[in-house]
Structures are given as structure tokens and as C-alpha cells.
Amino acid sequence: MQTALACDWTETTPIEAEGAFAATADIVLGDGFADAATRDLFRRRTATRDAQIWRMRDVTLIPVLGLVFKDGRVVEPTRYCVYPGEDAAARSRLSGPRNSLDGRRAFAALNRPCGHYFHVLTQIVPAVASYLRDPGFRDGVLLLGETGPSVPDLLPVFRRALALAGIEAPLLAVIKPMPPMDVRDLSFSSLLTGGDAPSPFRRSVFEAMAARAGTDGAAGGPTMLYIARPDSNSRPMRNEEALVARLLRLGVTPVVLSALSLDEQIRLFRHARLIIGPHGGGLANVVFARPGTVLYELLPSHYVNPCMALLAQQHALHYWCDIHPAEPRPGVWRHMVPWSVDIDAVERRVAEIVGAYGVGGSAPATTISH
């Protein structure tokens, strides 16, 4: 639950209220989830959380962190993915040079990890959609982080995502990570912070995007997809080529998402009945899958992250997951640690899923990459 700001320098506009949530799909975790604390991260959610927009006066924004200060103190509800010591370093910058924004109302469209597709899609776009409830949004300015949607390959995707969501964005302002920026009138959506509970509002945004992408009348696509990551340096899978070769024989179509437009990705995920892939930002597209679709996620043992499981619950997708061993690499940043999957185990699991849900398809001739 977000802590509402009750101050004479804030106003709060509700987005959605907290309520009960009943999961309607399966959660199947492999033997690697032996630790009770780890299994708890993937538990069924039973409630949604409230969400709101905070309109704040005379505050200072630290763009690189998406963190807001008031009179030298952190506005705690804006804290998200801020690592120990980062807010202290940001506070020390308050005594130095600052930029300022006066004259127009500002609306935040950035957070600490906003340079990643997952966060742009699942947090930034819904947050911008929430600002439509404010009649002043049309004449305001939308603040983007230079390390976020301004990355050359993400800014066009961000613009297209807004169009698909039916959002006519106001003036877009890309701001540098530093220095801090004094803002006279800043609106900040709580959808920018977190996402560890189902959100009917977020789901409605993704459904609107899917409808505008033409998924209802489009021709059918592959029934079973594997989301390949040959173009990513993060968490490299040593034997992905061998895994892809085996999955091809099972009728699974490998897909390289970076070569596809957003509309093409939406249509692929909308028509699929089984989506397989290692943890990565591209799996965020499961928000466009139809209820009852199966997401089978492969996780490296050094990076067990439940965010895709939470998306699956929100969208009534069956979620299956297995953990595979990463190579011991002391001192190596976790996103650079290599790992491998047990290909035979994956094949057995795919056969189990196909048998349980009746999904399937014919083997494709080529990989989808354009």
C-alpha cells in the first residue's frame, strides 16, 4: 500500500483503490524452488494495492534516481530501486548547481530503472496514462529521463506505446541525469514505484494497446514461442543455440524481439498459447497475452526475480518456472554472470505443459527475427 502524502504542499488524486484479487491460473514451480523464502516471492496474490497521483509544490527532482526531495528531505513514496547510499549522494548535490522548471506543470515519466524496456512498458506507460485524469495534463510537460526512454531505440517505442494506449502526450522534455531540477509544480504517479501487486488499471492500459495494435482481426501467429536473447549481454546463456535447436524440433518458434516493431510484438504475444524464455525485458510483453496462455520462464540461480510471475497473475496466465545453475563468478556483476539450462529437463517440461493445456503447433521453417 502506498503511503498517501498528507501535507499542505501536496494534493492526491486516486487512480485505483485497494481490493481483493482472486488468481485464476496455475503457478507451477520446479524443484529449484526449495527455499521457502524464495517460493514466497512467487506466491499467489490476494489483493490489489491502491494507487494515486501526488501533485507536489516546490520540490527538487533527482532525474537519475526518479527521487523527489522537499526542503532537503526525501519524499519517501517516490523512492524506488534506490540503492544504499545513493540518496545521500543525491542530497549532497542539492548544495550545488540546479536546473529549474517554472511556468508549466510537470508530470514525471521516469524512475531509477527507466532505461529498460520492462520498466518503460509496465510502469512508465501506465503512469502516463494515469495523468489523463488530470485536466492540466494536456498543457503540461512530460519529464523523461535521458537514461530512460530517450535511448534511441526506446524513444520511438515509448511514443508508439503512448499512441496505442490512446494517450496524446503533451510536450516531452528529456532531462539529463544530473544536476537536480527544482520544479514548482510536479505530479508523480505511484505507478512509477513498484509493481508487486496486481493492478486492474495497468491491465486496462495493456488491453487498450492490444486492441489498437489490431490483434483481434490479425492473422494468427505461432502457437508456441521461445523468446531468444542472442542480442543481449545481460545474463548470457551459454547453451541457448543448442536449446533453440531442440525447441525447433518440438514446434517452438524462436523469436528475436529487438528486430520487431512494438505492434508486431503485441500481435505475436496475443496469438501465442505457450511463451517460453529466459528472464529478460522482452517477456514483459506477456501483458498482451490472452488469459489462459502459459508462460514458462527459465531463471538463472543467481537472479531469481518474481516480476514476470506477478505479471502472469495480473493477466490470468498459467505460470511455470524452473531454476537453472549459474556459473560461480565471485565479484562479477550479477547481470554479467553466465549460466546454462538443462536442455533435456526443458524438453520434458514443455511436453508436460503441452499435455496439460493442449497447446501445440507445427515446426516453423525459420526463426522470426524481422
Assess whether the previous peptide bond of 179 is cis (omega < 30° from 0): yes
Closest CA to 323 of 300, 351, 352, 343: 300
Q: Are 116 and 74 within one domain?
A: yes
Residue 64 within any structural domain of the chain: yes
Q: Strand (E) positions, the chain?
A: 10-16, 27-29, 51-62, 67-70, 73-74, 99-101, 106-108, 141-145, 171-175, 181-189, 224-227, 253-255, 274-278, 294-300, 318-324
Q: What is the DSSP letter of 66?
A: T
161, 177, 211: which is the final residue of a domain? 211
For residues 197 and 81, membership in a common domain is answered with: yes
Domain final residue pick, 211, 246, 279: 211
Spell out the per-residue pLDDT of the chain, length 370, in tens: 445 576 889 999 999 999 999 989 999 999 999 999 999 999 999 999 999 999 999 999 999 999 999 999 999 999 999 999 998 999 999 999 999 998 899 999 999 999 899 999 999 999 999 999 999 999 999 999 887 666 667 889 999 999 999 999 899 998 999 999 999 999 999 999 988 899 999 999 999 999 999 866 555 788 999 999 988 889 999 999 999 999 999 999 999 999 899 999 999 999 999 999 999 999 999 999 999 999 999 999 999 999 999 999 999 999 999 999 998 888 888 888 999 999 999 999 999 999 999 987 543 333 343 3
- Provide the residue range defining the domain that includes 341: 224-357
Q: What's the domain count of the chain?
A: 2
Please give the biggest Cα pair distance in the chain.
64
- Report yes or no on 252 lying in a domain: yes
Q: Which residues contact 290 (CB under 8 A, 6 or more apart)?
A: 270
Please name which of 328, 340, 322 lies closest in space to residue 243, comparing C-alpha atoms: 340
The number of beta carbons lying within 10 Å of the beta carbon of residue 105 is 19
Residue 296, number of CB atoms within 10 A of its CB: 21
Count CA within 13 A, CB hemisphere, residue 192: 33
- Quickly count helices (H) and strands (E) in the chain: 10, 15
CA distance 123 to 118: 8
Co-location of 229 and 352 in the same domain: yes
Q: Kindly report the CATH number assigned to the domain that includes residue 252.
A: 3.40.50
Asked if 191 and 290 sit in the same domain, the reply is: no
pLDDT reported for residue 340 = 96
Residue 22 lies in a domain: no
Domain end position, chosen among 163, 190, 211: 211
- Do 62 and 200 fall into the same domain? yes
Tell me the pLDDT tens digit for each residue of 53-100: 999 999 999 999 999 999 999 999 999 999 999 989 999 999 999 999
24 domain-assigned: no
Q: What is the Cα–Cα distance from 264 to 258, expressed in whole angstroms? A: 11
Q: Are residues 54 and 193 in the same domain?
A: yes
Which of these, 360, 368, 357, 364, lies nearest to 26 by C-alpha position?
357
d(CA 286, CA 309): 10
Using CA atoms, how far apart are residues 30 and 304, in angstroms rounded to an integer? Answer: 13
**Residue 219, domain member (yes or no):** no
- Sequence-distant (6+) residues with CB within 8 A of 65 are 82, 86, 87, 90, 112
Please choose, from the candidates 35, 19, 173, the residue with its C-alpha nearest in 3D space to the C-alpha of residue 102: 173
Rounded Cα–Cα distance for residues 44 and 312 (Å): 11
Q: Please check whether residues 206 and 232 belong to one and the same domain.
A: no
Q: In the chain, what are the helix, strand and coil shares in percent, each to the nearest 5?
A: 30, 25, 45
- The Cβ-side half-sphere exposure at 151, using a 13 Å CA radius, reads 13
Q: Supply 83's cell numbers.
A: 540503492
Would you state the pLDDT for residue 221? 81
Helix, strand, or coil (residue 145): strand
Q: Which residues contact 226 (CB under 8 A, 6 or more apart)?
A: 243, 244, 247, 252, 253, 254, 255, 276, 277
